[in-house]
Amino acid sequence: MRTFEKYSNLNLLWLFPIIVPLGTILLSFYLQEWYWGLMDDVQLLGSGTNISERFVNYLAALIAFGHFNPTSAMRSAVIYTWFEHAPVLVHVAKWVEACLMLLAWGIAATRVSGKISALPIFMSIALSFHYLYDTFFFLSTHEVIGLLFLGVALNGFLAAVDTINRGTRYASIVASICCLLIGLGAKEPMVSSGVALGISFLVLGVANKSTRSRALFISAIVLLLSVGYAFSLIIWVQSSYTSSYSFSNIPRMLGSFNDWIRKDLLNHSPWIIIAWLLVLPTSNHYLRTQARLVFTRKQLWGMLTGLLLYSGYLLILLPWNTVSYYAGPLGVFFAFPMAIFVAQVLPLSGSIIQIVVPIFALLFNMLVSQWALTRESLYHYDTQNLMSWIDGNPGFQNNARSKLVDCNAMEAAGAITSHLGRDFALDLPGFIHRGPNNYPSGRILVYTVRFGSPSDVFPVEEWTTLFYSKYWQVYLKL
């Protein structure tokens, strides 16, 4: 009984690295009254007046742009219709989606590991990845909803493999296939996760005689659907915005790989070091002497599944972008095998180590989440101040109407004036997308460092500062 109470209390420590970052973000939405973003929010708000109109129009726009995301189009149509006059509630809805997604994958990690502690450990590790937090702040991103349905599908497939009753098994497989297709329809890179899961269940079928037929059946269906979906995207959808996506673009892939090493892998490194320390001879004699007995076959399969998911998604991202919200799913796929590993190995360590590791997770997650929250909240604050300044500046408005205002951020060039029209009834044309290089005199540049370059300089001899904040500045070229 004392041993059970001891481990129960130790497991409770893992709740704090989850509650603190998630609770802080949720509280900030209300304290700061978060606003719309400058990515796709304007397009979504203006794509119709009800759910069906917004779904049809937004999906058509995505297809014309080289995307096929029916899941995201429907999700956006629903959320932006329900809360079109309350952007804070859209942020809250995105927060709820992220929490459900983490819960789904955490439950899957628990199913595979057989350890209840895998759930909070998974969520703690996932919340240590800084790019995962971008999904909380960028409303129109699609990664979270895709991961949510893929996580539910994985749980259903796991249940089907373990279920003896034929009727229950097939019902679970059918429901999981539906969730898989919904997940794939969220964003194109999710197809790599379908392929990874198909290969993973193929390995499970080969390795485990008792569940071979069920696992191979699931593998065949998942691989057929995922590969077929991938080829259909290449043949019928890829165009315009996605036309430059190619594995033959070696310089771009090398640049993306370098970004992954400098940012993503660096962010993973504390947990990689912890895993290494847990298996050091000085910290875990049992693991050193009986390594093959520590992990069950299913746990090894679960860690392989996580490796396949991570490497597959990274491979898909290399010709595109391995940073920002694009890389958010990597944090989930990294946390899945790491949680299985830590949940199994940590109880074999001493009590001090079992206390220190979750405390480290809390401190690490506080650092990462506060860094992301401070950055994004200040960006939102600066954006709202910029729009208030424009609303109170008739001279700037006249220049904008005369087409004398530019902006170095392409999407923001149109989004800022559209939001001004919605909230301030200010009728201004969109800014012209242009950078500061070879800039003509007499024009005004709305400049953000997010889309700038370290080489961008504005000497006082050539530029007059009209508005200044950390993320937004307005300059007049003399």
- Cα–Cα distance measured from residue 44 to residue 50, given in angstroms and rounded to the nearest whole number: 11
**pLDDT, tens only, 426-471:** 999 999 999 898 899 999 999 999 888 888 999 999 999 999 999 9
pTM: 0.92
pLDDT at site 239: 62
**pLDDT, tens only, 142-154:** 999 999 999 999 9
Question: Quick one: pLDDT band at residue 116, thresholds 50, 70, 90?
Answer: very high
- Cα–Cα distance measured from residue 252 to residue 250, given in angstroms and rounded to the nearest whole number: 5
Distances (CA, A) of 94 to 142, 432, 435: 10, 31, 32
- Cα–Cα distance measured from residue 277 to residue 283, given in angstroms and rounded to the nearest whole number: 7
- Cα–Cα distance measured from residue 233 to residue 58, given in angstroms and rounded to the nearest whole number: 18
Asked whether residue 282 carries a pLDDT value surpassing 50, the answer given is no
- Cα–Cα distance measured from residue 303 to residue 192, given in angstroms and rounded to the nearest whole number: 17
Which residue(s) pair with 473 in the sheet? 447, 468
**pLDDT, tens only, 80-92:** 999 988 889 999 9
Q: Which of 440, 446, 453, 451 is nearest to 469 (CA)?
A: 446
